[in-house]
Structures are given as structure tokens and as C-alpha cells.
Amino acid sequence: MASPAQPRAAQKHPWLVLSVVLTAAFMDLVDGTIVSIVLPHIQSDLEAGFAAAQWVLAGYALTFALMLIPGGRLGDVYGRKRVFLIGVAGFTLASVVCGAATGPDLLVGGRLVQGLMAALMVPQVISIIMVMFMPQRRAKAFAVYGIVLSLANVSGPLLGALLAEYDVFGLQWRAIFLVNVPVGLLAFAGAARYMPESRSEQALKMDVPGTVLIALASFALMLPLIQGRESGWPLWMILLMIATLPLLGLFAFAQRRSASPLVPPGLFKERSFVVGLIMLLTLFTGLASFFLVLNYALQLGLGWSLLATALTGIGWPVGILATSGLAQRYATTHGRLLIRTGLLIMTVAVVALIVLLEAYATDISYWVIAPPVLVMGLGFGLCVSILTNVILTGVPADSAGAGSGVLNAVLQLGTAAGIAIVGVIFVSLANGQDTTSLYFAGSTTLWYNAAVFLVALLLAMALPPAPRHTEMRESARQVPIP
């Protein structure tokens, strides 16, 4: 809940403030996907080795994961507006460095800074939703957030393909970074003007031991997930991943003893928070990797162009837009049912796509792939915004940044883990085979995605029942809605 000390203007512009922070979130999410599709062009132009090219992707993901949870807590302690502005400004400047890079080292350095700055600004988005919107309005705000997230995930590859094929302003691949500059300036100006400052009402301090331990645990887990397959899984990398468990154990012990913990242990007493995070982790291992597998199957297996492949994902945001209104309307009365229904629809859609890929084989067209992707979007629109709201329902406003940081870290972990897993499956199926067989390796790998959506559906059965609607309406009478 918004602090009484916040400016009264903040209560008049909640949706305007949301649009500002979502602009920054869109910029970050697009930047996370736009690079992969033009990476071969970057590698060739900068005469970079394969390892350096890989770190253009991996470096961003790694520093982003390292700072997500501390980034959320920094907003609680020092002010969400202040931390958000620092993140946006730093991200924009790092984008200029990336766009002007004359060699791979400078580009990788710029990407590392981009990841750090994104970890400062992204957790504040969910924190702002929790602070500025009362529980009855959060479902709608989270639905809008889900739409923006989905649009960004699809827009990244499509925008990258367009910029690469049409050489906008003669900038070649550099345009994918420099396009962030006007967007970043717009987000910074809007936040400076309209966003209220908010922080925890408790006297919190940064938990330095907790920050160090969670950063080490994140590094130990994320580096092998990002680099393990390409490096051949050396022993030291396997041991590093195993070290994640004792590091997390030390982190949990430190949090219980800390007077101002980075992640309040009380968050994990909320059943909806724990079960929902496990569901979200499972769901996102199948989500980002789905489009990766489909892109590989179509580009490498059938020789489709970058643009033709990117267009197959257009039905995804269309489906989300079509069902998000329904999700908003019935979130408080039938939210758990909508989550289960959405996950069931996604599972059935992936199975249908696999069947079509196998049946049409190399004769498959855009119009065969588009309907199942559209149906997947319909299912995702029903469940994801409601699930986010369910996860954060029991999180107090004082810990909004911490809860947001944990949620975003789980999303990032799920995405990285899913890509690593499908990479192993796809490469093992496609190793040493011709291009046509690469297509069928992709369709077979998609069974993993169908399976994890089904597992997420089964986990949804463990969510606690929603509060009675009458109680929510009663609390609505007691607190004015912005």
C-alpha cells in the first residue's frame, strides 16, 4: 500500500506511472532477446571469436541474475524512484557504449553493465504496482504487465530481424542498442516527473552478507547454466553448480539472523508465494525455450529467413490480448480456475503443434504454425497475470522490492535453465544429422515444453484457495482505491 507520505499527485496518476515503468521494462525485455537473432552479424563485423560472441548474450544474463534480488531490496531501502532512475540512466548510457563499440571487449563490457542496470530498474516495476495499486486493482495492472512482457519477448526477435535486414539509418547491428537511447530518455523523464518516491516504512539497512551470499549463489548456478553445454561441462563447472546448495543454505541461515534481511524469511511462510514461485519457475523453463526451439527448427532445418521465422510468433501477443480482459474481470472470483484452464490450453496447443510439425514435415507453412501459437497466447493470457498476483498477495508493501526481486530472479533462472535443458536435448537429437533432421529434432524437443506446462498445471492444484470475495470487497470499502 502506498505510504501516506507519498505525494498526493501520485494517487492521481497510477496508470501514467505504470506506463512509464513498463516502458523501461519493455526496453529491458526487448534488449534481452533482440541480440540473439543478429549475433552472427555482430561477430563477423567485430571479428570476434565464438566465446566472445557468446558472452555478449551470457554476460547480460549473468549480471542481471546476480543483482536482481539486491536490486529489489535497494528500492525498499533507498527509495524505488531513486533506484529506478539510476537503473534507467545507467542502462541507457551502457546502450550507447554497446552501440559505439569498436571491438568485442568493449561490447561485452557494455552488456555486463546493461545487465547490472536492468537489475536495478526491473524489480521496481512490480514494486510500483504493489505500492500504487490496491489489491482489487492489482490484477488489472499485472495483466497489463503480462501483455507488455509478452509483446517485448516477441518484438525483440522481430525488431532485430527488421533492423538487420533493412540496415536502418545505415547503423547495421548497432541500431539494436542505440534504439534504447530515445526510449530510455523518455522513461527517465516520465519517472522524474510523475513517479512518487516510496520506500519501506521500516528503518531498513542493506544486508551486505546476504547480498554477497545470494550473488555468489546466483553466479554458481547461472554460469554453468549459461556456459556449461558450450564448454563441455568441465568438472569445475559441475562442482560450481553443486556449490549452489550450501551457498543458499548459508544465505537462509544469514537471513534468519539478520536484523534487516535481504529477503525476509516470513515471505516463505506464505503458501501462495512458495507454490506460485515453483509454478513460475517450471512455466518459464518451457516458455522462452519454446520459441528458441521453434526458431532453430525453422531456420536451421527449413532455411526460413529471420523475418519469416520471427513472424510466426505474432499470434502469441494477439492471443494474450484476447484473453487478458477476461482474466482481469474474473481474477478475484475464479482466479485459480483460470490459471489451471490457461495452463491446460497451453499444454494442448503445444501438443497440437508437435503433431502438425510431424504431419506436414518440410511442407509446413506459416499458416499451419500460427494457430497453435495463437492458442498458446490465449492460455498464457488467462493465467500469467493472475499467477503473479497470487504469488505477491501475501507480500507486505514494506517488502515489495524483496518479493519483486525474488520473483524476477525465479523468472530469469527458469528462462536460463529451460534454454540450457532444451539445448542439450536439441543438440543430442540433431548431432551429425542433415538439415531436414534438424527440423524433426526441433519438433521432438518440443515435447519437453509440453511436459513442463503439464507439470505447472499439476502444481496449480496445490495453490491455496483465494480469499472470499466478500472479504475483499469489505477491505475495498476501508481503503480508497487510486
Please identify, among 216, 235, 259, the residue that sits at the C-terminal boundary of a domain. Answer: 259
224 and 291 both lie in a single domain: no
Residue 18 counted as domain residue: yes
Question: How many residues comprise the chain?
Answer: 482
143 and 233 both lie in a single domain: no
* pLDDT, position 182: 92
Residue 3 counted as domain residue: no
144 and 250 both lie in a single domain: no
Alpha-carbon separation of residue 403 from 274, 312, 397, 482 (angstroms): 11, 34, 9, 22
207, 250 in Cβ contact below 8 A?
Answer: no
57 and 150 both lie in a single domain: yes
pLDDT at residue 257 is higher than 80: yes
* pLDDT, position 435: 73
Domain count, the chain: 2
37 and 134 both lie in a single domain: yes
61 and 197 both lie in a single domain: yes
Which residue, 116, 119, 111, 117, is CA-closest to 54? 111
Alpha-carbon separation of residue 84 from 76, 90, 182, 195, 214 (angstroms): 11, 10, 17, 10, 21
310, 158 in Cβ contact below 8 A?
Answer: yes
185 and 294 both lie in a single domain: yes
* pLDDT, position 355: 96
Burial class (CB in 10 A: 0-12, 13-18, 19+), 195: buried
103 and 29 both lie in a single domain: yes
* pLDDT, position 50: 57
DSSP 172-203: GGGHHHHTHHHHHHHHHHHHHHHPPP---SS-
273, 394 in Cβ contact below 8 A?
Answer: yes
Residue 407 counted as domain residue: yes
Residue 397 counted as domain residue: yes
244 and 374 both lie in a single domain: no
Structure-model confidence comparison of residues 333 and 195, the more confident one: 195
Structure-model confidence comparison of residues 57 and 216, the more confident one: 216
Q: How far apart (Å, rounded) are the C-alpha atoms in residues 1 and 14?
A: 12
- The arithmetic mean of pLDDT across residues 300-324, rounded, is 82
pTM for this model (two decimals): 0.76
Alpha-carbon separation of residue 439 from 145, 213, 348, 376, 479 (angstroms): 34, 42, 21, 21, 56
- Cα angle 68, 293, 408 (rounded to 5 degrees) comes to 15
244 and 178 both lie in a single domain: no
End-to-end CA distance of the chain: 10
Handedness of CA 110, 114, 115, 119 (dihedral sign): positive
138, 389 in Cβ contact below 8 A?
Answer: yes
179 and 249 both lie in a single domain: no
Alpha-carbon separation of residue 343 from 80, 275, 305, 452, 456 (angstroms): 33, 15, 31, 10, 7
For 288-303, letters b (16+ CB in 10 Å) and e give bbbbbbbbbbbbbbbe
Residue 168 DSSP one-character state: G
* pLDDT, position 1: 37
Which residue, 132, 108, 101, 135, is CA-closest to 50? 108
Which residue, 221, 209, 268, 291, is CA-closest to 402? 268
* pLDDT, position 95: 94
> What percentage of the chain carries pLDDT values higher than 90?
23
Residue 2 counted as domain residue: no
What CATH number corresponds to the domain at position 124? 1.20.1250.20
Residue 1 counted as domain residue: no
Structure-model confidence comparison of residues 275 and 386, the more confident one: 275
78, 199 in Cβ contact below 8 A?
Answer: yes
**Mean pLDDT for the chain?**
81
Residue 361 DSSP one-character state: G
Residue 303 counted as domain residue: yes
* pLDDT, position 12: 61
Domain containing 64 equals 8-206+260-478
Structure-model confidence comparison of residues 106 and 385, the more confident one: 106
* pLDDT, position 203: 62
> What percentage of the chain carries pLDDT values higher than 70?
89
Q: How far apart (Å, rounded) are the C-alpha atoms in residues 41 and 64?
A: 24
- Lowest mean pLDDT of 21-25, 48-52, 152-156, 264-268, name the range: 48-52
Q: How confident is the model at residue 397 (pLDDT cuts 50, 70, 90)?
A: low
- Gyration radius (Cα) of the chain, Å: 22
Helix (H) or strand (E) holding 144: helix 135-166
Residue 111 counted as domain residue: yes
Half-sphere exposure of 406 (CA within 13 A, CB side): 19
367 and 222 both lie in a single domain: no
